[in-house]
Each structure stands twice: as structure tokens, then as C-alpha cells.
Structure 1
Amino acid sequence: MKMIKQLTKYTATGIASLAMFVACKKSDSFLDKRQTESLNEQVVFSDSAKTLSFLTDMYAYTGQDLIHNRYTLITSAVGNDYACMEDMTSHSISFYGDPQQSFITGASTAKNYFSNNYYKTYYLKIRAANQYMKKVKQSPLSPAMQTRTAGEARFLRAYFYSALVRHFGGVMLVGDTIFSDLSTPIDYKRNTYKACIDYIADECDKAAADLPPLEQQNPADYGRINKGMCLALKARMLVAAASPLYNGNPITTDPALQPLVSYSATYDESLWRKAADACKAVMNLGTYQLFDIQTTGSRPGYGWWKMFLTRKNVEYIMPYMLVGGTSLEGAWFPISRGGSGWSTPTQNLVDAFGMANGKATSSPGSGYDPNFPYANRDPRFYNTIIYNQAILYNNSTKKMDPIDIYKTWQGVLTSDGLQQYKTKTGYYSRKMANDSTGAYTSQNRVYPVIRYTEMLMGYAEAMNEISGPTAEVYQIVKDIRKRAGILPGTDGMYGLDAGLSKEAMRGVIRNEYEVEFAYEGHWYYDTRRWKTAEVTENRAMQGMMVTKQQDGTFTYQAITALSAVFLYPKMYFCPLPFDEVNKSRDLLQNPGW
């Protein structure tokens, strides 16, 4: 019964996001809330503009893994902001307050976990989607528009479930029920992980049937849900379900908990086939491709960098729509260059980037020189990381100048009152930023929630697990590296060794995920689905101390910027919020919590 009240309150909150509901008087009576809610439903779904506004509000919560102020946006909690999902991983350190601090040190509980507000917010939006699908037929929208927008709501509902499942494992599926009838009994308990994945995949298929492909979409509707987005979300979740965390060797043998955190208790290769087929379905649309443009004299990897500044491009499948601005540059860049340095990449991430010839820095023939650690690196490195002597626009000199990281290290200049904003690692982020042609200006861009490269990588990963490193798998990795600006070499292999084993190619693919999608919200989920977080997220988060010598040269010393803890098995899944578990004895908490 408490769940009914909570979900009803969530819907009232959803309607309150429209301006007309703000002035409504708050009542302590549940029946009064239902009456007020009903009156406002009448207003919303009797007006076309308000009906579409109600739907559009749901879109605002689809970019929470990569927008830099996502925590403040989703909770309205001042002082609890951190840069992006990357700051909950070994890749990056932000200002380092809660919730990041408790999470990284293993001190989080079910009462203060960073995802607690996600749980409530996503169920709020799921119920709003249910409302929309139920009520849209009463709206003055045309029948065609009713069908299309109901398809959008169906996808958004699946998307919010996918967000819940990625954090918590199996969650409660409410179907089309809105839970407004207090006389209706409800069993408040979780569905299995398999049931949730199968439901999301099925809902994506149903939504796809009611939505146009991108090429048939009105250009003015760019960013609204289309068929490609539906198929891509399905593929993402099936790749996850086939991965080690969910496919064999579960983290718990408890017969009650195991189905909540695992698709199959024993390894099932057919899950990889389903994942491959789902990725291939997106590839076969012929709608998307790797974005790669070159201009005369452009630097290696120019197309990869330019993609993130191009609002509409052939690679973005699901964009998170933004208004123009410089908020990303203001968040990423150091104070001396017009930013605030919110998020500082770690040496852990820097070490993942190989060399321009495609070789890992530790590989024979890579050409890596520890005395000049940033020379001849993978071009994606230069477009992701601000490092010592990186060229960046200088507001003081009004030109492109090398940045002296050694002057901005936290603790060096303590008299200016801005120590907390200085780099904690010896690096700053520049991923997706406009940073190479002068003073950064307002960018009319969007962020990539899902892009085509993820489909290529998912297909290559799945096929490698099924058949090993076939020519097809090799070609996908080479295509991605080519677009990144890596040199082909005399053998045309882009740094890949011939005759790799399945295990070696698996390592290559995982490394490509790490560097290709850095700061796009993937690493947290990837290290969990691969079941590698107990290693990658359970070691020191390193930085690079830079010292300038009297002769003008620099020395570099790796240091521990922060000690991190990953507690097995509990941190593979977020805990359900403490208050939610207390609502029902049948709502089981995740292992270890």
C-alpha cells in the first residue's frame, strides 16, 4: 500500500514539472491529492501543447550518465554536485565530496548511496509514461500523432527501466498500471533480472513498430525517439545480459537473490548470439556510420573530435538535447583557462591510451618514452585529456598557449583561496569540448547517450565471444582505430597483432571501450558487466606530479591521488534505497547490503 502512495506522489511531482501545477495547494489528504491530480490530468490532456510538454519533460532524464551536473539536476540538492558518471570510477576525481567520497572509500550505505534519488526519479518517470500512454487517446492530437508519441513514451519507459536495471539488477515491473486505486492490492517485490531484460527488449520492439526510422523523421523532430534508438537500447541491454556478471558464475548462490542479479546461473553462449543479432539489426539499418571528416591539414583524429561538436551527425543514435552554451568547457577547463576544473582525469585513464601507432605504451615497439610521456599518443588522448604543456586557449594572452600543469597542482598555490579547484591528478578533462581554435564560444551541440560505435563494439565483442577474433572482428576494431587517427602501419593493422587469441582480442576490445567512450558514462557499467571492477576499481587512483627543472625541462612522477575501495560482491550492484526496502518484507536487498 505504501508503494501505491509513493507512486501516486511521484506522478503528482511529474505533473508539477509543468508550470500550471506549481500553484496547486499541497494537501495532507491522499484523496485530495488524487482529486487535484485528476483535475490537472484533464487540463494536460485536453490541450495539445500541454500534452506534448508532459511527454517532453521525460526526455530531460535520459542523459544522467554523462551530463556534468547530473546529480544536482536530478535531485535539486545544492552542494552534492559532481561532474559525471566517470567521477564514480577510477577514471576521474571531482571536488571529492559526498556522494563520491563515500562511494569511492566504500563507506556508502543503503541510506546515503549515490543512486538513491535515481531509484525514485526513474519510477516517477515510468509512471508518467504509463499515464501518457493511457491518457493520450483523450487528447486532441491527431491519431497518427497519438500513436507516435505513445511509442515515444513506451521507449522512454523502457529506457528508465534499463537505467534502473543497470544500477540495481532486477527491479519491480509495474506494467501499464498507474496504481491510483487504493483498493487494488499490490505485491511490492522485484522481478528477476531476466524478466526485466526480456521486458525491455520486447518493449523496444513494440515501440520501434510505432516509430519512424531517422531518415523518415521530420528534421524538426531531431532528438525525439525513433526506430533506431529503440533497436540500439535493446542491443545495449542484450550485450550487458550476455556479459560475465550476468551470464554464468553469479556473485551469489542465494537461491532468492541469484535470479535478481543474473540472467543465467550457468554460462549460455546463445546470449552472445542474441546480443550480436541485436547489434547487427542496428548496423543493417544503413542509417548510421562512423563520423569521419577531414579538412586540409587537419590533425589526426579530427573527425572524432569534431563529432562531439556537431549537433546532428551520422553517428549519434540517441542524442541528449541541449541548448547552446559553454557549460562543459566551464566545468572541464582549469581556472587559468576560463573554467573551474571540476573533473580531473586520473593516471589510470591516461595509461589506457596507447600510442599513435596503435601499440600499448608497455608493448615492444610502441616508442613510449617515460621522460616525454605525452608524445606520440593515440590522438583520442589529446582530445580527452589536458596534460602538462597541452596547447589551450589562454584568456590572458588571447592566444593558444601551453598550460603549466605544475603551477595548478592542488597544494602548490594555497594563498589564492582556490586550492579546492586545482587538479588533484595533474590533468584536466577536455572530452567533447571546443578547445582548439581560440576562445571557446557557445556550442549548439548535444551529448551522445548512444552512438553507432557502441553498436560496432558490441557486435565485435559478441562475435569474438562466439567465434574468436574473426576477420570481421578485426575489421571493426581497425575501422574504429582508423577514424580515431591511429596510424595504419606498413601492415595496415593499426597496431593490432595478427593471430590474436579470443582472450587477447577481448582485452583489445575492452581497451577500445575504455578510451573511445571515456567521459561518456560507460566505464562504470562496463567494469561491472565484465566483472572486472574488483580489479580496476579496487586500486589506487593515480596522478602525475609534474616538476619543472632549472633547465626548463620537466620530470614526471606517478603518485597516489586517492585510495579507492571496491567491496566484493556488494559494489557490483547498487543497494535499493533503505526506505524502499522497509516498505515490504518481500522487497529483497542486493547481495552484501
Structure 2
Amino acid sequence: MKTMKQHIILLALAFLGLTACKKNFLDVTATDRVSNIALISDSALFQDYVINRYLGVKLQDKEAEGTLPGFGRGFEYAMWSSLTDESIYNNDDNTWLIQRGQLAPENTGIAGTLWGRSYRGIRECNYGLHYVDSLQCSNELKTRLKAELHFIRGFRYLDLIRNYGGVVIVNDTVYQMEDDYSKAEVYQKSSLADCIKYAVAEMDAAAAGLPVDNNGNWALGRATKGAALALKARLLLYAASPLYNVGTWADAAAAAKAVIDLKKYSLESNYGSLFLNSNSNEIIFERLYAINARHVCLEISNGPNGYNGWAGNTPLQNLVDAYQMDNGKDITDATSGFDAKNPYLHRDPRFYATILYNGAIYRGDTVQIYTPGGKDSKDGPSNWNTTKTGYYLKKFMDDKNPIDNPWNVAGLQPWIYCRYAEILLDYAEAQNMAAGPDATVYDAIWQIRKRAGMPALPAGLSQSQMIDAIRRERQVELAFEEHRFYDVRRWKIADVTENAPAYGVDVTKSGNTFTYTRKVALGGRLFAAKNYFLPIPRTEIQASNSQLQQTTGY
């Protein structure tokens, strides 16, 4: 069965080469590009062009090793979680400046590629939509390819909106490199409401033409009707949230319920194994990797130094503290049973599936973060790779993959863009805000907590109490999946969560007794009001002859 990865060779065909040139006696026939005529005369070639739009160009060092980037950060060295209170990237790689509020148009860190890659992807989708009607193929295939291009274009706009707010909607007119980019209207930003409306319309157009299932010749990893409806639900959830405030919670709830009502998706029985199973019925849309295709090796990038790992995205104590006890009580509750001397006992089972901690069983051994002498501490091998937070990442890691010398083995874990648990959480949040904590809200949260092995929420919660419960549930259920960065912003609580110190823990051992001491793992953490959205890179402003308006505050 084909996957998207098997088609990436076409990305070597420069987009510039997809346009015709005036002939003269100096012209030669290029062999590294495809003409418009060839593209629209071969439906298989055109379909490969569409498939490749799921991927983007590499624009920065330390991203997209081996395979090209998709949407967001996915499985990169520094993940998006390390710009939040979930983790820090142990070796910085241009993440600490964002954590410390030093983000600027001239210095965007790892956040600097979203603008350029998104608009390049949009232009490439516009190109496909311009020529698809000229394609010689069945109407059914043509309808699907159009829908797929609308989906990809809508996703690119979603990435722009959630990172920059109101952005430029280029419509269908910009699709060639030769198009006139000098006019001021080309760089005119639309309102946030209009941007959301446009992106939602893209997902509606996609949903109308996409198949319900990826089967037959429709390869896994490509968009479906459910994927389009799920991203529409995410867009409308953002639109109703305090930062955006351009939509209604009722619309967001209805959009999430439309995905639920497909009755196609369900929760995986085991939370931990979900992230290793590309065929899980919980997955709505995913990024697939082909066998032996080189990409970032997760296990060595994030593993403990005692196993020859590089630590990578190390979880913060801020996140660890969000996991309740397995009786459903917060660790700050005096009746919860939390024991500061044994802080990892009887916690939410999702904690054990997400984070490696001192004493955790791992690969037939025990993680030793303690000093003196712990092999996964600064006293162990490769001590420059010792965690700065006192934790290592477990989520997404496949214990069957080697940590030491993994370069010829590519892990096949999918990167999940959207899964059913998110939809249940989207529905619960929107419905609670629209109508209060009714039975359907409780049921959506119960499905997730039951799968995790956690008790149901207490009956009789107020709307405000349910808001707090849902936010905590999103924090632990969706940890490291690129939601926290956007959630705390859309809720307008980032001025609290992102200004809190980046906490870790020091573990010391004396005899058989461990002592756990909270510490600041990364100093200088800072969030300002302007940081609710990203700055547009200065180079993009300059390329527009300063006609493009910078994000407010920068």
C-alpha cells in the first residue's frame, strides 16, 4: 500500500519549473521539472502532485531530517511542546528565546518557518485548483482531488490563523511565480472573522468531495471527510474562544458533534499503544512514514543519557503536577493520598504512558535520575545530555526501536494531527460553554477518562468547575500533541501559564531514600501580551516592500 512518503520525490520538481517558458535558440529542455501540459495530461502524475502538497519545503536547520516537513512541527528534534509549560528542549535549538519572551521579527527561533511554508503551500494548492479541471480523468477522481486541495489549503490557513491571527487571504488568483506581487492589496490582511470563515468554507468544500474511508487506491494518510469535519470543528472552537471571539460555542459544539455522528471513530482501548498504531480507529488524520525512510529518530533524540539518548524534549514539573491521583483527586488536595516522598505512586495512568521519571521501568531496566551515581543523571554517561528537568519523554517512543546507533532504522510511529479524543474534548468544552455541563458533556469526558483508567468527574459541577476540569483533561490527554501552545492562548491564560517558572526536580539518594526538590529548570521564562500571536519574520515584511502589516506589538 502506498503512503504519502513514497511520493515525496515529486517535491524535487521545483514549483518554478511547472510554468512554461518562451522558446529561443538558447533554450534547452530541462529534465528536472514537469511542464503544465505533462502534468494535466497524466492523471497519475497530477495525483502525485496533489499528494505532495501534504508536505512542505525545509526552511530551517534542525527540522525535517531526511523527510520533508508536514503541518506544524510533528516529529522534529525540538517539538512545539518545548515552547510551552509542557517541556523544554534540553539543547535549546532556538527554543529558549521563545520561552523567555525574546521572540522578535528578526529572531523567530523555531517558529520562523510557518509563514513562508504555509503561503508556499497555499500557492501550490491554488496552482492545482487552477489546472484540475483540465485533467483528463473521471469526474469522481477530479472531485476528490479538488476536495483534497481545498483540505490542504484550509489546513495551511488554519496554521496561519492560529499563529498570526488575521492574515492575508490570497484567494485563487495567486498561483504562478510570475504573478504580480507589487500591488498593495496583495498584502492586505483580512479580519480574523473573515479568515475563520474562509478556512471553514475550505473544510466544507473538502468534506463534500472527500471519501469517508481511505481504501482501494486512496492511500492511507490522505484526507477524508472526517478529517475535514474535524479540522472545521477545531477552527470553530478557536473562533468561539476568548482570544478570537468571532464565533459561537453552539456552532463549535455542532461541528464537533457532526464528527461524532459519523459513528466512524472510537477510542483506542490502550492509551499508550495508540501512538504506535497507524491503523487505530481513533486516528482521524495522520502523517505516515515509509519503511527505511530517514526521519528524526525519536528514541535517541529524546531518550535518557544512560541509554545513550540525547534527552531532547524533557517534560516539566508544571505538566507532571497536572496529572491527578488515580482516585481522581488533584495532588494539591489534602485527601488525595499524594505523598511528596513517593510522588509518582498512584497517578493517572496517562502519566506513566507519557513521562519517564526516577524509578520508571524502561527497556528492561530502571530509570535512574538520582544523584549521586544515577546512570541517567549527570553522573552517568554522556552527561551533557542529562535532563535539565528531571524527566524524559516516553510518549510516542517505540521500545522496539534501537536508541544506540539507530540511523538505519526508521520508526513507523504516525504523527497524529487529529484524533477522536480531541473531538470529544472539543465537544465537551463547546457544549459546556453553550449550554452548561449537561449529560452529553459528562459523557464525552467520561469516555476519555474511562479509557485512561480514571474515575468519572464528580456530579453536580458548575459550568466554571467543568471548564477547569476540561482544561486539565486536555492538558494531560493531549500532552505533546501541539495543542497546549494554542489552548492557553485561545483561553487567554498564557499570561499565567507561560509566565510561571519552568520547573523541574532534583532527585538525590541517600541509602534507600530519595528526596525530590523542586527547582527552576530554565530561568527567565516570560510571556507578554504581544506573544499571543507570532511576529511575521522581518524578511517577509521586507519582501513585500513593507506593504505587509506586522503583527500587533512587534
TM-score range, shorter chain: 0.7 to 0.9
Shift of 1:554: 0.9
Q: Which amino acid aligns with 1:172?
A: V
Residue aligning to 1:266: none
Contact between 2:151 and 2:228, CA under 8 Å: does it hold in 1?
Answer: yes
2:73 maps to 1:52: no
Taking structure 1 as reference, are residues 211 and 22 closer, same or farther at Cα in structure 2, changes over 3 Å only? closer
2:432 maps to 1:464: yes
2:152 maps to 1:156: yes
Taking structure 1 as reference, are residues 179 and 308 closer, same or farther at Cα in structure 2, changes over 3 Å only? closer
Residue aligning to 2:235: 237
Residue aligning to 2:260: 283
Counterpart mapping for 1:485-504 below 5 A:
485-486=453-454, 488=455, 494=456, 496-504=457-465
Q: Which amino acid aligns with 1:320?
A: R
Structure 2 distance, partners of 1:17, 1:558, is 50
Shift of 1:236: 0.2
Taking structure 1 as reference, are residues 562 and 38 closer, same or farther at Cα in structure 2, changes over 3 Å only? closer
Q: Which amino acid aligns with 1:533?
A: A
Residue aligning to 1:524: 485
Q: TM-score, normalised by structure 1?
A: 0.81
> What's the CA shift string for 1:118-151, capped at 9, x where partnerless?
1011111111111111122333443321221121
> What's the CA shift string for 1:77-116, capped at 9, x where partnerless?
xxxx742110111211113434212211222210121332
Task: Choose from 315, 322, 332 the match for 2:289.
Answer: 322
Structure 1 distance, partners of 2:163, 2:515, is 41
Residue aligning to 2:170: 174
2:11 maps to 1:18: yes
Segments of structure 2 that go 5 or more residues without pairing to the other structure are 1-7, 71-75
Taking structure 1 as reference, are residues 219 and 136 closer, same or farther at Cα in structure 2, changes over 3 Å only? closer
Task: Choose from 92, 96, 99 the match for 2:94.
Answer: 99
2:273 maps to 1:306: yes
Residue-pair matches, total = 522
Residue aligning to 2:73: none
Task: Choose from 285, 298, 316 the match for 1:346.
Answer: 316
Residue aligning to 1:567: 527
2:133 aligned counterpart, secondary structure: helix
Q: TM-score, normalised by structure 2?
A: 0.86
Task: Choose from 463, 484, 487 the match for 2:452.
Answer: 484
Structure 1 distance, partners of 2:121, 2:140, is 23
Contact between 2:303 and 2:310, CA under 8 Å: does it hold in 1?
Answer: yes
1:45 aligned counterpart, secondary structure: helix
2:372 maps to 1:377: no
Contact between 1:86 and 1:520, CA under 8 Å: does it hold in 2?
Answer: yes
Shift of 1:279: 0.4
Taking structure 1 as reference, are residues 317 and 220 closer, same or farther at Cα in structure 2, changes over 3 Å only? same
Contact between 1:413 and 1:419, CA under 8 Å: does it hold in 2?
Answer: yes
Residue aligning to 2:413: 445
Structure 1 distance, partners of 2:64, 2:451, is 30
Structure 1 distance, partners of 2:286, 2:219, is 12
Task: Choose from 419, 426, 435 the match for 2:399.
Answer: 435
Taking structure 1 as reference, are residues 471 and 55 closer, same or farther at Cα in structure 2, changes over 3 Å only? same
Contact between 1:569 and 1:591, CA under 8 Å: does it hold in 2?
Answer: no
Structure 2 distance, partners of 1:304, 1:241, is 29
Contact between 2:287 and 2:414, CA under 8 Å: does it hold in 1?
Answer: yes
2:418 aligned counterpart, secondary structure: strand
> What's the CA shift string for 1:272-310, capped at 9, x where partnerless?
001001001101111111111xxxxxxxxxx11121121
Counterpart mapping for 1:204-215 below 5 A:
204-214=203-213
Shift of 1:183: 5.8
> What's the CA shift string for 1:308-350, capped at 9, x where partnerless?
1211111101111122479222222113235322111110111
Taking structure 1 as reference, are residues 585 and 122 closer, same or farther at Cα in structure 2, changes over 3 Å only? same
Residue aligning to 1:146: 142
Structure 1 distance, partners of 2:40, 2:226, is 28
Query: 132-141 vs 162-171, which deviates more?
Result: 132-141
Shift of 1:442: 6.4
2:110 maps to 1:123: no
Contact between 2:112 and 2:537, CA under 8 Å: does it hold in 1?
Answer: yes
Shift of 1:45: 3.1
1:59 aligned counterpart, secondary structure: coil
1:542 aligned counterpart, secondary structure: strand
Taking structure 1 as reference, are residues 23 and 571 closer, same or farther at Cα in structure 2, changes over 3 Å only? closer
Structure 1 distance, partners of 2:344, 2:217, is 42
2:379 maps to 1:413: yes
Task: Choose from 347, 362, 370 the match for 2:332.
Answer: 362
Structure 1 distance, partners of 2:65, 2:92, is 12
Structure 2 distance, partners of 1:38, 1:133, is 19
Taking structure 1 as reference, are residues 163 and 499 closer, same or farther at Cα in structure 2, changes over 3 Å only? same
1:309 aligned counterpart, secondary structure: coil
2:518 maps to 1:543: no
Taking structure 1 as reference, are residues 169 and 71 closer, same or farther at Cα in structure 2, changes over 3 Å only? farther
Residue aligning to 1:332: 302
Contact between 2:290 and 2:412, CA under 8 Å: does it hold in 1?
Answer: yes
Contact between 1:82 and 1:95, CA under 8 Å: does it hold in 2?
Answer: no
Shift of 1:52: 2.2
Contact between 2:432 and 2:441, CA under 8 Å: does it hold in 1?
Answer: yes
Structure 2 distance, partners of 1:361, 1:163, is 35
Structure 1 distance, partners of 2:528, 2:305, is 38
Contact between 1:148 and 1:210, CA under 8 Å: does it hold in 2?
Answer: yes
Shift of 1:224: 1.1
**Percent identity among equivalent residues?**
37
Taking structure 1 as reference, are residues 409 and 87 closer, same or farther at Cα in structure 2, changes over 3 Å only? farther
Residue aligning to 2:5: none
Contact between 1:232 and 1:279, CA under 8 Å: does it hold in 2?
Answer: yes
Shift of 1:179: 5.0
Structure 2 distance, partners of 1:171, 1:44, is 31
Task: Choose from 382, 386, 389 the match for 1:422.
Answer: 386
Taking structure 1 as reference, are residues 46 and 512 closer, same or farther at Cα in structure 2, changes over 3 Å only? same
Query: 174-183 vs 496-505, which deviates more?
Result: 174-183
Taking structure 1 as reference, are residues 360 and 61 closer, same or farther at Cα in structure 2, changes over 3 Å only? farther
Taking structure 1 as reference, are residues 437 and 133 closer, same or farther at Cα in structure 2, changes over 3 Å only? closer
2:53 aligned counterpart, secondary structure: helix
CA RMSD of aligned residues (A): 3.5
Q: Which amino acid aligns with 1:47?
A: D
Taking structure 1 as reference, are residues 409 and 578 closer, same or farther at Cα in structure 2, changes over 3 Å only? farther
Taking structure 1 as reference, are residues 19 and 82 closer, same or farther at Cα in structure 2, changes over 3 Å only? closer
